[in-house]
Structure 1
Amino acid sequence: MYDVKKFKYFTVSSIAFGTWRIGGGYWYASHDRDNEWVSAIKRAIELGITLIDTAEMYGNGHAEELVGQAIKSFDREQLFIVSKVWPSRADYDNVLKSANNSSKRLGTYIDLYLLHAPSRVPICQTMKAFEKLVDDGIIRFFGLSNFDVKGIENARQCLSKYELVAIQNHYSLLYRKDEESVLGYAERNGLMYMAYTPLENGILSKNEFLANIGRKYNKTATQVALNWYISHNNLVPIVKASKINHVEENAGVMGWRLSEEDWKAIDTHFRERNYLLDKFISTLKSMRPWK
């Protein structure tokens, strides 16, 4: 690996390859770009992005199939595969069924299995199923996505055999709500915090403030933003790319770090200038499906 984050039970690449909108979208599959998508995943792994995030909902399982196809030529022990179960399937029996189906599509075990979002199903049912999946060797670890601290605590109280090891939430320089609670909680408790939508669908890639700082390092605005994230001790940003040049740009975030001065300048700039935008994005988030 070129650049890694070490946690209590595992070591992963400092950024993750995301597969939302690869292989289709919200519970529907698309096969028209399969070769392109598989090539992108392979290139990411070659460049040291060995943490791959997917879900049963992405492409109605087709994203998992594409990941499974892409990883066949690599050393499985060097990879860390994340998948998720949808909240409507969070009851004990359906969790077991979903995980087994995801594992079959991937062609391998799942390193980290997440509940995609809070569910009406009592959380202890889901946690009991997760522990059973670890015992059965279908998954190695488990965690939660789109949860607040109270929800995480409730889940942890259900556990009798294993620990919850990760939380995946929306976080970016433009959406910093989790700094109020979840991000600090995760670090204090040794949880990996996976940040989805860290570039806000390309908004930060076009940010001139980040681009100006990037010129000092011969890096792009995208690379500066991602490097700002990986400078957090326990934070791993999830970045999706379907084109090889974008994969290579994302991989260029690894192997270096922003100076403390520049990191603080970025922190202050976005904290002071994006309060209203942060609230706007929060509103939009409440109106769309979880990633």
Structure 2
Amino acid sequence: MEYRVLGRSGLRVSEVSLGCWAIGGPSWRDGEAVGWSGNNDNESLDGLHRAFELGINHFDTADVYGDGHSERVLGRFIKEIPRDKVVLASKVGWFRGTAPNAMQPLHIRHQLEQTLLNLGTDYVDLHYFHNTNFGPSDLYLEEAADMMRQLQKEGKVRVIGQSGYSYGDFMRVSPVTRPDVLQFHYNAFGNQFDQPDTNLFQWADEQNLGIVLFGPLAQGLLLDKFDPENPPKFGEGDVRASNLSYTKERLLEIREKLIPIKERFGMDVQDLVRVAIQFALAQSPNACVIPGFKNAKQVESNAQGAGNPLDAEEVAFVRSVIQGS
């Protein structure tokens, strides 16, 4: 396993870390599925222990993942290893309980206390604002930022992070939240964050910010593991059930794009795992990836994607083939 420092945060993490959304299980928010089906707690724990054995030291969860279930599973794992050997990250912002907005300062404190109880620890190494919804006209933005810094002063939060879903949102709130780590979605399909006018990698590198990338495997779509003639069906409470990328037409389109990738880098799923992970990692020396998992086998596959980088020409080749540019 290779390690990277997340910019000015000073956090040293495995370049392939673990996202713990899927192990939270099925869940809903405001009537919409926002979880994952098919999880098993014993298999999740086996996966976490296997990750630790393989040198993965950074585990990313959130209060909303299974409404705390992901944190509680992690908490069982943390009891069995040295706390100071891992970097624990959680988030606040999607689960608002009875508060008018999830970023109301008192709610942020309450959710962190619950997160710490769930995890069985007295601090998180990295705590994110999970989104940029700070209420109407950013009503709670400054107070939320003040609260997070207060929690940092109390030693309950080591590093403050900001997660977001658009370049404009990051630019709007970051001057106030002042994060040391950014988290956002990115993979070889590309998105606004790698475009000239909205290049968040460039901006983050200029600020020496750490970068944590979720979705590097595009929820398996970059691995050509789904049969277009028999598209996958997902259970209740699974966020993928409403994803149109799992239609026959889209799966066939993606399979076609992956042909040149397979011809150059290898035909196995594991070859595609390596390409997808290393493409994302190549975007910044301050970045790590947090692919999800449900069992030890998937953890092993993710971990094997580490330590074998793509060179600049290979990165350009993957980008041109997948994005057509």
TM interval, shorter chain, is 0.7 to 0.9
Equivalent residue for 1:174?
A: 189
Query: What's the CA shift string for 1:46-68, capped at 9, x where partnerless?
Result: 11121111000001101001111
- Letter matched to residue 82 of structure 1: A
Asked whether the 8 Å contact 2:17–2:288 carries over to 1, the reply is yes
Q: Secondary structure at the match of 1:83?
A: strand
Distance 1:157 1:246 in 2: 38
Quick one: structure 1 residues 107 and 31, their matched pair in 2 at CA, closer, same or farther if it must change by over 3 Å? farther
Rg larger in 1 or in 2?
Answer: 2
CA contact (8 A) 1:24 1:60 kept: no
Equivalences for residues 109-124 of structure 1 within 5 A: 109-119=123-133, 120=135, 121-124=139-142
Code of the residue aligned with 1:73 in structure 2: it is E
Equivalent in the alignment of 2:147: 129
* Structure 1 unaligned spans of 5+: 274-291
Aligned-residue CA RMSD (Å): 2.4
Report how far residue 153 of structure 1 moved.
4.2
Q: 1:238/1:32 Cα in 2 relative to 1: closer, same or farther (>3 Å)?
A: closer
In the alignment, does 2:70 pair up with 1:57?
Answer: no
Task: Report how many residues are paired.
Answer: 269
Question: Structure 2, unaligned stretches of length 5 or more?
Answer: 29-34, 95-100, 225-257
**CA deviation vs aligned residue, 1:231-262 (integer Å, no higher than 9, x gap):** 23122222011122221111011122223332
Amino acid at match of 1:170: H
| Aligned-partner residue type, residue 163 of structure 2 | S
5 Å-filtered alignment, 1:121-200, equals 121-158=139-176, 163-180=178-195, 181=198, 182-200=200-218
Which structure has more relative contact order (CA 8 Å, sep 6+)? It is: 2
Output the CA distance in 2 between the equivalents of 1:216 and 1:33. 30
Summarize deviations over 1:128-151 as a string: whole Å, max 9, x none. 111011111111011111154444
Letter in 2 for 1:265: F
1:73 counterpart SS class: coil
Describe the SS at the equivalent of 1:241.
coil
After alignment, is 253-262 or 88-97 more displaced?
Answer: 253-262
Shift of 1:172: 1.3
Matched residue, 2:227: none
Q: TM-score, normalised by structure 2?
A: 0.76
Secondary structure of the residue that 1:89 maps to in structure 2?
coil
TM-score normalised to structure 1 length: 0.84
Q: How does 1:1-291 map to 2 (within 5 A)?
A: 2-6=1-5, 7-8=7-8, 9-27=10-28, 33-87=40-94, 88-108=101-121, 109-119=123-133, 120=135, 121-158=139-176, 163-180=178-195, 181=198, 182-206=200-224, 207-215=258-266, 219-232=270-283, 233-272=285-324
Amino acid at match of 2:276: A
| Deviation (angstroms), 1:30 | 8.5
Whether contact under 8 Å (1:18, 1:52) holds in the other structure is yes
8 Å contact kept, 1:95–1:129: yes
| 1:73 Cα deviation after fit | 2.3
Deviation at 1:72, TM superposition (A): 2.2
The offset of 1:77, in angstroms, is 1.8
Q: Describe the SS at the equivalent of 1:84.
A: strand
